[in-house]
Amino acid sequence: MSTENRDDNIARILDAREGRSALEAADATTSERSNLRDLAAAADLAWASAQTPPPLADDPVAAMLGLVPDPDLELDSKAFASARKRAGFTVSSFAARLTTRGWDVSSKDVFAWESGKSLPHIPALITALAEETGVDPDRLRRQSGVDPERARLAAVVASTTFQHLAERWARLQGTTVALASSALESRMLVAVHRGGAPDAEVLLDSLEAMVSAVEDVQES
């Protein structure tokens, strides 16, 4: 078949697909029809490939909307659990709220997040969780792999107040400041794991009370 005839037959077939007379392509031979079908299929495949959206990570619109996972950030499971409970949602009712917003989330997913498993890294989803619970999104996200309790304790240990307490405890116990600091940090760890996650001020106040009590006993 010549290139000119082939192009004419493809044009007639395309016209037929648009609802025009399919009989216009009837003069093609069986072999030509087979070739034309192959060409049409290839044309359809090329068209479909051109319409396929880019991978999510390469889609600037998805990135702008916060739909691209950020490997450096993740949901803070304990902060989320506290926010969800304060907002008065059960696990199932909260999952239903997210589903209404268009997120494919089940009660099992919510429970897993609060258990520290399969934590989401999608900024838009974390923002949705914050909006539903009425908190700032920054309160529900953290750096990936960072234990918030350890980070909180590290900030307390680095404070001037804690260093002064460690020096006082070292004098009381007749030991080095380093050992005294380690002992006080261990006491804070017990407090954290026993009763949730008290803030820095509460932790320091409890240490101050303990150190002062021992000082009073030794002075009496």
In a domain? residue 21: yes
Q: Give the residue numbers spanning the domain of 127.
A: 62-145
Higher-pLDDT residue of 179, 25 = 179
In a domain? residue 56: no
State residue 86's pLDDT score: 92
State residue 53's pLDDT score: 53
State residue 7's pLDDT score: 57
Same domain, 24 and 83: no
Same domain, 67 and 20: no
Q: What sign for the dihedral angle of Cα 113, 115, 117, 121?
A: positive
User: Does the predicted TM-score (pTM) go above 0.75?
Assistant: no
- Domain end point (choices 86, 119, 145): 145
State residue 218's pLDDT score: 82
- Domain end point (choices 145, 161, 180): 145
Question: Does position 10 have pLDDT exceeding 70, yes or no?
Answer: no
User: In this structure, what CATH number is given to the domain that contains residue 141?
Assistant: 1.10.260
State residue 56's pLDDT score: 47
Determine the Cα–Cα distance for residues 35 and 47; give it in Å rounded to an integer.
18
Element (H, E) at 100: helix 91-100
In a domain? residue 57: no
State residue 70's pLDDT score: 77
Q: What is the crossing angle of helices 160-173 and 200-219, to 10°?
A: 30
Same domain, 68 and 47: no
Give me 159's structure tokens.
């404070």
Question: Does position 50 have pLDDT exceeding 90, yes or no?
Answer: no
Same domain, 69 and 126: yes
Q: Per the structure, how many domains does the chain have?
A: 3
Whether the Cβ atoms of residue 107 and residue 92 lie closer than 8 Å to each other: yes
Using one digit for the tens of pLDDT, what is the confidence trace for 19-38? 444 444 455 566 656 666 66
> What one-character DSSP code corresponds to residue 55?
P
CB atoms within 10 A of CB 220: 5
Whether the Cβ atoms of residue 170 and residue 162 lie closer than 8 Å to each other: no
State residue 80's pLDDT score: 92
Q: What is the crossing angle of helices 177-195 and 148-157, to 10°?
A: 140
In a domain? residue 195: yes
Using one digit for the tens of pLDDT, what is the confidence trace for 122-173? 888 999 999 999 999 888 888 776 666 666 777 788 888 988 998 999 899 8
**Of 12, 139, 127, nearest in space to 70 by CA:** 127
Mean pLDDT over each residue of the chain, to the nearest integer: 75
**Percentage of the chain with pLDDT > 90?**
21
Same domain, 70 and 140: yes
Whether the Cβ atoms of residue 58 and residue 104 lie closer than 8 Å to each other: no
Segment among 73-82, 124-133, 162-171, 195-204 with least mean pLDDT: 195-204
Question: Which burial class, exposed, middle or buried, applies to 152 when counting CB atoms under 10 A from its CB (0-12, 13-18, 19+)?
Answer: middle
Of the pLDDT bands very low, low, confident and very high (cuts 50, 70, 90), residue 66 is low
In a domain? residue 39: yes
Question: Does position 91 have pLDDT exceeding 90, yes or no?
Answer: yes
- Domain end point (choices 145, 168, 199): 145
